[in-house]
Chains A and B, each alone.
Chain A
Amino acid sequence: MFGLGLKKRNKTDLRDTPIPEGHHLLEVNDLKMYFHTQDGVVKAVNGVSYTLDRGETLGVVGESGSGKSVTSLTIMGLIDMPPGKVEGGDVLYRGKSLINMSEAELESVRGNDIAMIFQDPMTSLNPVYTIGRQLSEGMRLHKGLSKKEALDRSVELLRMVGIPNAEQRVKEYPHEFSGGMRQRVMIAMALACEPDILIADEPTTALDVTIQAQIIELMQELQHKNGNAIIMITHDLGVVADIADKIMVMYAGSPVEFGSALEIFYEPMHPYTWGLNRSIPKQVQDEKKPLTPIKGNPPSLVDLPDGCPFSPRCPYATDLCRTQKPPTHVTKTGHYSKCHYSNDEQFVQANAPKTNRVKPGDIVPERGVDA
């Protein structure tokens, strides 16, 4: 009875099919995921679009409840429907729609072509099974490995993510691992089938600061080796600062700014992004107080404001902001921002924070010298 569902599915993996002409590895087009609850319709994801290619890292940044996690869970098909419902848009993986896929097809994508690691490593592993068994499961399912083969490979994977004494550790249970070690196990589990895309949902939030950097470095290192794409979801702009190629800033279910990491840090156009920039320690030099929180709370996703969703908290909001939805202002490079005043260069120049973050190519001073 415990052998249920571990037979190798006789299908070619989607990641071995070439990306069709004119498509990206992953394309999210105007995705909308609504939850129909007793209290009304929660517009958790309300028009998210981006593209991603192999080897790239996308950072998705926003406060809790901004829809960043729901977006990736929707891509994975892990939202229970009902109460969730895709109200529009599409997700294309190698040109194939994940939204219209059958559950069986999705199961062969999940953990195989697209893998995910979660925020809390302490609760993300099943307490009653050994690490080896949990690591093996995906490989036996997707690659048809035997128990023995999968276990051998699990040992290799544990070594790869830097867990010492892997032969022994593979027989142990999750409670015998520390938080950082468990997150390494989660990474090993996600990478077991060499996925195209690794989605990491706040992978370091629950960990000690010292461990955080190690985990991020590990993910980067493995990305160089395997060439996979990474979607890094975080509420902390600082976390993605060093590793993301592109950054999408989300607010109240939709992206408010999207651009390359350099653009988001050096030429941010949206007041919300400015606020996020100001709340990164040691990032800001033009203010007397080093850290400025964004006042107020995100709006209710059931009852969004009429105009710009950020207008109730935006220090620059005008009547126009409060009454009309902002247009999308796009630059030549594809950097876009949803703000009525993003095209007003003077306004942006005057109010955007200056950062002391060093642009690539500049001479690197000692970190943490300034106070």
Chain B
Amino acid sequence: MAKYIVRRVLQFIPVFLGVTIIMFLLQNVVPGDPIKLIAGDKAMSPEAELAIKADHGLVVTDENGKPQLDENGEPIPTPLIQQYFNYLNGLLHGDLGTSYKRNLPVTEILLQKYPYTVRLALVGIVIEAIIGIGAGMISAIKRYSFWDTLVTLSTSILVAMPAFWLGMLLQLFFGVLCKNWTNGAFYLPISFNANGEFQDWVYYILPAFTLASVSTAYTSRIMRSQLLEVMNQDYIRTARAKGLSRKAVIWRHALKNALIPVVTYIGIDFGVMLSGAILTETVFNWPGIGNEIYLAIQQRDWPIVMGGVTIIVIVVMVINLLVDISYAFLDPRIRLGASNSKN
């Protein structure tokens, strides 16, 4: 197992480097001058401009942080590859650079936003697991029934629907049409109390449902097809031949086998949710990391975009690794290795 984890972590390194290099290159071809972003409309002296460039590591500096000049008295731009290594070096020390626009460390900005994304993802994953697995099970157990048709139909529609549009429909339905019943509680944009905290957990439901909609549909489809496939296995017939009731066969024998791939899917999807859904967070004006990165893209505030993507990629990779490890724990064939199957 330890060997496996080490191998997975080693595989992760080239992918991580690839992602950051691509981001880094994109950042450098993007139109827009960071100085203009930082200075805004204010006119700026060349000295102040140079100082800012030095702060952001865009020109070569001496050990005191002073910009070095070449023989013509011009500042020397930091070579791209040097910038990249500086970035990696900073990353190892937990430093993701400074925002152009807000002059705050990127880590500080992201850490402030990330809890909202995490909480939303947690509610979303609970919704996905409960509704997705439940609907898939009903669909498979009552195959070809009214409920099966209903589940199949609604999953097809959910998958074909833009999630942001679903979010607006939910706002329309709960916030506008059912105003009297819900007391406007679901209506958004959400309100904060004095501490900047949400007033009520109910505000999580609609965005979390929107966030989870497509993957809930997929979860239920996977659950359905897995359960149907497992129910056709020989060992299910063996269990029936033992005298177990249909219900006991499903709960004791079919479910665990069918759930293994479903749990894997949900786990991986949790990683995706933790990467902050731009669309859901925009529609619901959610102060999470996705919204933050999206605003940063619009403002060309690249350190935030770069830092955000870096964190997201790391989170997704770690979650995927955890999913693989738990998969091995669920399935004894992988946990114990199939090497000694012959004796």
Q: Does A48 count as interface, using CB distance less than 8 angstroms?
A: no
- Does A1 touch B at the CB level, under 8 Å? yes
CB of B42 closer than 8 Å to a CB of A = no
CB-based contact A126/B239 at 8 Å? yes
A5 close to B332 (CB less than 8 A): no
When the two chains form their complex, are residues B336 and A109 in contact, meaning their CB atoms are under 8 A apart? no
Residue of B nearest to A6 (CB): B248
Q: A residues 286-345 with Cβ under 8 Å of B?
A: none
Asked whether any CB of chain B lies closer than 8 Å to the CB of A259, the reply is no
Asked if A234 CB lies within 8 Å of chain B CBs, one says no
Contacts A178-B342, A178-B343 given; does A125 touch B238 at CB 8 Å = yes
User: Could you mark each residue 113-144 of chain A with 1 if its beta carbon is under 8 Å from any beta carbon of chain B, else 0?
Assistant: 00110101001111111000000011001100
Q: How far is the CA of A118 from the CA of B335 in the complex (A)?
A: 27
Q: B245 near A107 (CB under 8 angstroms)?
A: yes
Chain B residue contacts of A124, Cβ below 8 A:
234-235, 237-238
Q: Which of the 9-residue segments B79-87, B117-125, B148-156, B249-257 touches chain A?
A: B249-257
Residue from the set A108, A118, A125, A175 with the largest chain B CB neighbour count within 10 Å? A175
Q: Is the CB of B238 within 8 A of A175?
A: no
Give residues of chain A (163-204) contacting chain B, Cβ–Cβ below 8 Å.
173, 175-178, 181, 186, 189
A189 CA to B243 CA, complexed, in Å: 12
Q: Complex: how many Å from CA A175 to CA B337?
A: 9
* B240 contacts across to A, CB distance below 8 A: 78, 110
Does B202 count as interface, using CB distance less than 8 angstroms?
no
Q: List the A side residues contacting B246 at CB < 8 Å.
A: 103
B98 to chain A, nearest CB (A): 51
B-side contacts of A178, CB under 8 Å: 341-343
- Indicate if the CB atoms of B238 and A176 lie closer than 8 Å: no
Chain A residues contacting B234 (CB-CB under 8 Å) are 118, 120, 123-124
Q: When A118-B237, A178-B342 are in contact, do A109 and B333 touch as well, CB less than 8 Å?
A: no
- A141 with B243: CB separation less than 8 A: yes
B338 in contact (CB, < 8 A): yes
| Given A127-B235, A128-B257, A181 and B248 contact (CB-CB distance below 8 Å) | no
0 or 1 for each of A83-126: is its CB under 8 Å from B? (1 = yes): 00000000000000000000110011111100110101001111
Is there a chain A Cβ closer than 8 Å to B242's Cβ?
Answer: yes
* Cβ-based interface call for A4 (8 A): yes
* Distance in angstroms between the alpha carbons of A108 and B248 in the assembled complex: 13
A6 to chain B, nearest CB (A): 7
Contacts of B237 in A (CB 8 A): 78, 118, 124
In the complex, the answer to whether A175 meets B341 with C-beta atoms within 8 Å is yes
Contact B343 A181 (CB under 8 A): yes
Contact at B251–A5, with CB atoms within 8 Å? yes
Minimum CB–CB distance from B245 to chain A (whole Å) comes to 5
Residues on A with beta carbons closer than 8 Å to the beta carbon of B238: 118, 124-126, 186, 189
Residues of B177-227 contacting chain A, CB below 8 A: none
Evaluate whether A127 and B245 lie within 8 angstroms (CB atoms) in the complex, with A178-B342, A186-B238 already known: no
Bound Cα distance A124, B233 (Å): 8
Is A108 touching B243 in the complex (CB atoms < 8 A)? yes
A304-B242 Cα distance, complex, nearest whole Å: 35
B251 (CB) vs chain A CBs: closest residue: A4
Pick the contact of B248: A5, A78, A112, A123 (CB < 8 A).
Answer: A5
Q: Is the CB of B243 within 8 A of A110?
A: yes
Question: Across the two chains, which residue of chain B brings its CB closest to A173?
Answer: B332
> Which residues of chain B from 221 to 278 have any CB-CB distance to chain A below 8 Å in the complex?
233-235, 237-248, 251-253, 256-257, 260
Is residue B108 contacting chain A, with contact meaning CB distance below 8 A? no
From residue 1 to 40 of chain A, which have CB atoms closer than 8 A to chain B?
1-2, 4-6
Interchain nearest-CB distance for A182 vs B (Å): 10
Shortest beta-carbon contacts, A-B, top 3: A5-B248, A111-B243, A111-B242
Residues of A within 8 A of B (CB): 1-2, 4-6, 76, 78, 103-104, 107-112, 115-116, 118, 120, 123-129, 137-138, 141-142, 173, 175-178, 181, 186, 189
Ordered by A's residue number, 19 sampled pairs between the chains whose C-beta atoms are within 8 Å are A4-B247, A4-B251, A5-B248, A78-B237, A110-B240, A110-B243, A112-B243, A115-B242, A118-B238, A124-B238, A126-B235, A126-B257, A127-B331, A127-B332, A137-B239, A137-B252, A141-B243, A176-B341, A177-B343
* B positions within 8 Å CB-CB of A: 233-235, 237-248, 251-253, 256-257, 260, 330-333, 336, 338, 340-343
Known contacts A109-B243, A126-B257; 13 further A-B pairs (Cβ under 8 A): A4-B248, A5-B245, A107-B243, A110-B241, A110-B242, A110-B243, A123-B233, A124-B238, A127-B257, A128-B332, A129-B253, A173-B336, A176-B343
